[in-house]
Structure 1
Amino acid sequence: MFSKVLIANRGEIALRVLRACKELGIATVAVHSTADTDAMHVRLADESVCIGPPQAAESYLNIPSIVAACEITGAEAVHPGYGFLSENARFADILEAHGIAFIGPTADQIRTMGDKIEAKRTAVALGLPVVPGSTDAIRSDKELLRVCEEIGYPVLIKAAAGGGGRGMKIALSAEDVVQAAASARAEAKAAFGNDDVYIERYLATPRHIEIQVLGDGKGDAVALGERDCSLQRRHQKVWEEARSPALDEAQREKIYETCADAMRKMKYRGAGTIEFLYENGEFFFIEMNTRLQVEHPVTEMITGIDLVHAQLAIAAGGSLGIKQDEIRFQGHAIECRINAEHPQTFIPSPGVITHYHPPGGLGVRVDSAAYQGYRIPPHYDSLIGKLIVHGNTRAECLMRLRRALDEFVVDGVQSTLPLFRELIDHPDIANGDYDIHWLEHFLAKDAAA
């Protein structure tokens, strides 16, 4: 096992990784911008290094500064968390060149799955079911129209290097597909520096189901169940639960084995998530995230497996420590992302938290780096924390979540807590009857009322 790990991130995920390291007796190094000098992960780390000003490009995305921090402190490995450099193949390559372990998959695996077109080709080769669509980047309007006619309208135009819903447009007919593609290309170019797009059939009412996987990099892999992430706004997840209310045991068993088998063939290393759209009993691969997910705690709650412990062990050359038939799923878990945003408009609300009281009690977990007096900076994402609740059944989980939401106090900034208090009482949520468009329709009705 490593003796010292540098955490190349901030906020709740940096604190989450730090705690796992401390449990394993690993010394920790926090890096931070000048805006995060008083951050909780900086206060609790064994060592800390300031790597730049508030702008992420000059601090948390500054690879030379992070490598220098490793060399100054003697850190043997880097955990990238999620976001920032967590899916940057060049970063993984540079660390390897400096003899520093990257706690994640290989650079080649990140590169393969980071390009959406190459990821789709790889998924097909690995036996994963995919959405019908183009297998290469669309270069001309003529080719665009031909592919759309083949797969049928409506279609979804997606940026090859995209994520988070950027560079993604829907075209309902041939009349608007050329303009939609031009808009997607322009957005992709601005966001990712790459205007390649590809086409997929648009699914009208799918759910978003993702499978958590772990691989040892040597050909062994397991699937740790699914998460339902269908409650989304502008393709950003808001509420995640495990397991999905939409699947039965036969469907679960089949997709688990399909994903685990794919990861064995790939010799995937570390934690990853294979994401699908699910409609009318069918799964369709959309992408793979080669990192820890924001919503990983719900998987930990139903399996009892610490995913960060597993990441650290695998990166240090260890085995998975568990076989597929040894995994047991207990109860139900839900995660709500509590953001410093207006609960209807979602406009960010940076500022000082004047009162902060997280809920507690049996089955309640809060992953947060916030505290009373903490200033939420305007430079990064607006996440205050994640409320994760576990129950023996989904009904018990919802009951416990309602109580925890009522206990949660965040004053001084606006938060999305009122939205979740509203959602918890909606009959569709109680029945698990929702798809990826449900939340936006709900918010539109709320705004019109």
Structure 2
Amino acid sequence: MRTFHLVSLGCAKNLVDSELMIGSLMKNGWQLENDPEAAELLLINTCGFIQPAVEEAIEEILDLAAIKAQSGCKLVVVGCMVQRYKDGLVGELPEVDLFIGTEACHRLAELIEPLFASGTTPEKVITPSTFLMDAAQPRVLATPPFRAWCKITEGCDNRCSYCMIPSIRGPLRSRPVDDLIREAEDLENRGVRELSLIAQDLTAYGDDRAGDDNLILLLDNLLRTTTIPWFRLLYLYPTGVSEQLLELMAENDRILPYLDIPFQHVSDSILEKMNRRHNGNDLYELVEKTRRFLPDVALRSTFLVGFPGETEQDVEQLIEFLKKARLDHVGVFPYANEEGCPAEKFPDQLPEQEKIARCEAVMEVQSTISQEILRKYVGRREQVLVEGLSRETDLLLEGRTRYQAPDVDGCVYINEGTANAGDIVTVEITESQIYDLVGGITAGS
């Protein structure tokens, strides 16, 4: 068998693309190789959303190029960075044999074949037109077998002034409900117990399709046709979180009481410049409404600080919001100009040092809030999905409550009892840390 090594960068949506790449290659006789120095093909799926991600991708490419120089293998770069910069990469990275955009992950085996055929002159850059995955395409999970991501849409129709996603990934394309049901059923048959629905904006699902397809209908069908115990909703637009959705969540505990809703800011003037369809008061009302339907909900959000024109007063508004709203999980990032975004040309750009200082000030406040929130779990018994042995020590198990999403939130360190990876067990929480919990599996769990 021919062998390939894959490096996957970026978000969970990117990881799904990587899983399709693996599926395409393995279906066509390729074998995944963990050691890059032993592979005939080195493959990297890049993120190009923000400049730090581009820089990380280039570093990884150069590392793989050094291996290529020694082994003589082929080096292929795929994904968002290629889609964003296209032909400009050829001169900058001559070590790369082939660049492929975001819309060709399902055709990877076909597109790389000319690299290995004698007497051919393969293309250097391939960026096909828009693509939408379906459940019939080969996919090999890169996650543990008991959890998976389900990408329900591609692209985005929102036009946030700081975001490159619409220009990289194209307009919103929603998958049909019946296709998503087939995928969920297949994943359940593979042993998946936690299925995270992901999209750039889950609440926009179906807006591009004729008929009644929407997130509520999709969830209703998933609950009816599968027995997957945990469904998690990630990345919802604030104005799209309806009372109907909250009612459905309140009535069905298989939809976890967890919502990831990027707010980005709370200052009305900054939100307007960001071209967001909400203001600060809307966010206060959304938090109140959500907790009215789901009193025990865990809310996650992200914020950008240092946006052009942001004042110290705007930052104080954000800090005050965090103190009052007491969100469970928060990510705070310094704003970075992205070539091609409207915000790149906005006046009153802030110095990098000031952005970082503001980011650190906001995170310091939130770390205290997070620590205080976690204390409420001490003494409670919570359902925990066991991930396996702890990354810290083989003496502990590690898992997550319903209120902790994979890869981004804290975890539960299990110091008593035994369980297998993928089990959902009852854990009595005995200790809280800044972001993590500690507890033991209860008898009979």
Q: Establish whether TM, by shorter chain, passes 0.5.
A: no
Higher relative contact order (CA 8 A, sep 6+): 1
Q: TM-score, normalised by structure 1?
A: 0.26
Higher Cα Rg, which structure = 2
